[in-house]
Amino acid sequence: MVRRGLTWAALAVATLLGHATARGEEDMRTAPKYLQGLRERGYYELADQYLETLRKAPNTPEDFRATIDYEQGRLMIDEASRTGDLVLKKDLLDQARGKLVTFTQKNPNHALAPESLVQLARLLVERGHLAMIQEVETDDPKLKAAKQVEARTSFDQARDSYTKADEKLVAAFKVFPPHLADNDSRKDERDRTHIAMMDAELQKAVVEYEQGQTYPPGSQERGEYLTKGLAQFEEIYKRYRTQLAGLVARMYQAKCYEEKGEIGPALGIYNELLEHQAPQLRGMQRHVAYFKIIAHGKRKEYALAADLASAWLQRYSSPDEIRSREGLGVQLELAKNILAQLPDASEKEQAQAIHRVVDVLSQVVRYSSPFKGEALAILKKYKPKAAANAENLSRMGYDELDGQADQAIASQEWDKAAEALKLAIRKADPAKDPDKANLARYKLAFVYYMNKRFYEANVLTEHLARRYPRFSMAPKATEIAMASMADAYNTYREIDRTSDLNRLIDVAKYAAATWPDKEEGDAARMTLGQVYHGTGQYANAVEAYLSVRPKASRWVEAQTKVGATYWEQSKILQRKGDAKGADAEAAKALEALNAALKARRDAGVLPADPDLLGNICDIADIQLETGKASEALALLEPSAQAVTAGGSTGPAFNRMMTALLRAHINAGQIEQAQADMTVLEKQGGGANLAQLYFGLGKLLEAEMKVLKDKGDRTGLAKRQADYLKFLTALANAKSGQTYESLQWAGEQMLKIQNPREASKIFKRILETMGKDHAFLAQEGADNLLLRTRIRYAEALRGQEDYTAAEELVADLLKEFPKSSDPLFEQGMLLENKAETKQGTWKTAFAHWQKLALRLGTSRPRPTEYYDAWYHAAYALSKDNQPTKAKQTLGSVMRLSPKVGGPEMKEKYDALLKSIK
């Protein structure tokens, strides 16, 4: 069965979320553009809801309100043209007709009235396509004939509608002067009318071609329609050769040549159209490339056609493109052209070819399309079982298909489940029992989500939630919708992530408002809180978390999130110098976290429960960073004792022991801190141990940064002294030492400005482990010792022993000529010498510039590249060249606004601010 919960790990890492906001009060100047963006991305349900919002909004201009039915009808046709759900397609086309008829009846003289006729004609074409697919998928001769008649009737009606629309558009276009200035208020309307007029002419000609496809190849009727279409396409191309409509007409002109047997002229035109470089032509060229494959196959150039088909599938590889009508057609052509080469292939090659053909066609038969029948026929010949499975499914009733889908879901055969569910949707009667169709859609959405088809899952679930809010699974559908958009946001990082995030916010708001007293409403509020927290909208995050119902199962979690949000605000205020405000937010954070802790304990949660330990550590973190080590110890020690006695392990236990270690260090209890470290080291080694030290160092640095930001010099000095005692004790321990522990201790000594003690530790590592054969035999030992020698040079530099540091760096440059680490240390050495008047800033700048240029050849550019330019600019600023320093930073930031990451961006901004 469909699982009830969904994983939200993708949203947990909130810092990965880019800054984006949902739409607030609508700005009508941007509404059409926003609507177009939703349409282009296939967000039909969201666009429909947005239009309904505008319909009800008091500030919507009446001229726009009048077009809403038109826009909704157009949206429904768009969705119908892309869905593979034939029942949904029919339903959408029926609804679209109602919207467009309503618009034309209410607004017979509106400027969009002719375009509404174009959309009605387009609707009829889609009905013709639907009938053609249904004709292919039935074995009943009478039904086949009826569907052919239905398709031809639809195309006849579409032709009449396009003709009427074209007449009105031509008349409307003639009203405008031949030329209008760019700033003329009439220009946008004239351009829109011109585009609509060209499209109506083109589509009227396409109908001739489409109607020809309803007759057998080689028949007199098909030839007559091809001749009519060809004449119209040629005329349109002559008049609009520089417009998209003209180029599409040129494509169909070639297609007519090809179907009439004139392959040479057709290929010439296809090649001509594929030479265009404009990205706006990608959609058209996708069709052209498909038609070209067919043409080469007809020429019996099977190998070339198969290669072109493979190249097409590589270039147009998105799920939507692969499953589009032309995508399925390309896959069928690939199979046919592979099979055509079998007679000349060896036995082994034949087996491989048949295997590939079966794989390809097994995908084609999963979708309703004009190619399914031919694909099934080929499968019957080469893999009867696969064809039988597809045919058997088509003969099953709803309940059998639902059972097949459940079995496939249980075994995680997602494609098989999707195939059964799509057929189940078609078998259900939406008029008599809509819940059956909707249940199948809900399961299909789950299958899409599990198969990482996030956008399709979202479209289906939003359709259910918004159009059928009383359906029993509608609230659950929003959980899949939210999970889908969250995963899409975190998966597809190279596309429009802001739109994905805004859609996630919209569906969460809808769920929270529609089911305020259900768990799904609370899940939506939690989602909003996580998104707002991740995008820095802390007040909104707090509001969302606090709106979770007190009796909800996630109330305790919400309180924990509230505490984290208040604490984040506290740290921001602290960095801004608002100590009073920071303290107030910290107090709110502790209040929320303590409330959550009390609720967990009152519920009898076990001492080792990971959420309980996390709650305790959240409180302790705040206490430690606000100088309340004794309170942190009072909270942590009893829990640590209880958990340790139970033999607990795992990330939550490690976090608690790390917090306890920090508390003991802060309280000056060094022996206890060493004991804590021993416990932690037993939890893991190698990379885990190195990560432990790294994480601990970051936490301790954060504590000291808080004290520094507060200006608490006394507290900072005490914290550093306690930390130094711990590091010294760790380094001087007689046993249990590892490379990681010693290296970490030395590096932390450097961070608290104690290079003398650090140098002793690094020297000890080099004198012991640098001569230990067992250590040297480890993989990566050379890199570990390089790191130690670099830090040793840094420690020598910190003591102003420049001669020894220079000698060590010189050796490293000889031994590791390809590594940038010695070059960085050399640059820092040149900076220190310039600071102490033992060198010049010009020399330092020249070094950093050379290093930056060298690193700039890497792709992608490493963080060190941006760091090198930072130091180059710093050297210029110190050399009294502020203008050049700013220009250096500015040029890097213009080309790469993120300059490698948030920390580096902060450094750049701080340096720019400091340069006078």
Whether 66 is covered by a domain: the verdict is no
User: Can you say how many angstroms the Cα of residue 26 is from the centroid of all Cα atoms in its chain?
Assistant: 26
CA–CA distances in Å: residue 148 to residues 129, 151, 214, 377, 689: 10, 5, 7, 20, 71
Calpha distance 464→510 (Å, rounded): 13
**168 Cβ contact list (under 8 Å, min separation 6):** 113, 114, 117
Our count of domains for the chain comes to 1
Token code pair at residue 139: 């074995």
Domain boundaries, position 864 = 840-916
Whether 592 is covered by a domain: the verdict is no
The amino acid occupying position 88 is: L
Please say whether the beta carbons of 304 and 263 come within 8 A: no
Max CA separation in the chain (angstroms): 98
Q: For the chain (length 916 residues), average pLDDT per consecutive 10?
A: 32 28 47 74 74 85 90 90 77 89 90 87 89 82 89 91 89 87 85 89 92 91 92 93 92 93 94 89 92 94 94 87 89 94 89 90 81 85 66 72 84 85 78 83 93 89 89 93 91 75 92 94 95 93 96 94 95 88 95 96 90 95 90 93 77 88 82 79 56 64 77 82 78 70 87 91 92 87 93 95 95 92 95 94 96 88 92 95 93 87 90 90
Whether 16 is covered by a domain: the verdict is no
CA quadruple 841, 842, 843, 848: dihedral, nearest 10: 90
Whether 437 is covered by a domain: the verdict is no
Whether 109 is covered by a domain: the verdict is no
- DSSP alpha helices (H): ranges in 494-628? 497-514, 519-534, 538-546, 555-575, 579-602, 610-625
Which SS3 state, helix, strand or coil, does residue 563 take?
Answer: helix
CA angle 270, 271, 275 (to 5 degrees): 115
The amino acid occupying position 589 is: A
Whether 322 is covered by a domain: the verdict is no
Please say whether the beta carbons of 868 and 856 come within 8 A: no
DSSP conformation letters of 630-677: HHHHHHHHHHHHHHHHTT--SHHHHHHHHHHHHHHHHTT-HHHHHHHH
Tokens 């249980």, residue located: 410
Predicted pLDDT at 18: 31
Calpha distance 898→908 (Å, rounded): 10
Please say whether the beta carbons of 597 and 567 come within 8 A: no
Give the N- to C-terminal CA distance of the chain in Å, as an integer.
Answer: 67
How many CB atoms within 10 Å of residue 50? 20
Please say whether the beta carbons of 229 and 252 come within 8 A: yes
How many CB atoms within 10 Å of residue 532? 24
**804 Cβ contact list (under 8 Å, min separation 6):** 796
CA–CA distances in Å: residue 241 to residues 165, 232, 244: 22, 13, 8
Predicted pLDDT at 192: 86
Tokens 């809180």, residue located: 529
Calpha distance 552→554 (Å, rounded): 5
Whether 722 is covered by a domain: the verdict is no
Please say whether the beta carbons of 848 and 827 come within 8 A: yes
CA quadruple 346, 350, 356, 359: dihedral, nearest 10: -160
Token code pair at residue 404: 């097949």
Whether 467 is covered by a domain: the verdict is no
Please say whether the beta carbons of 875 and 845 come within 8 A: yes
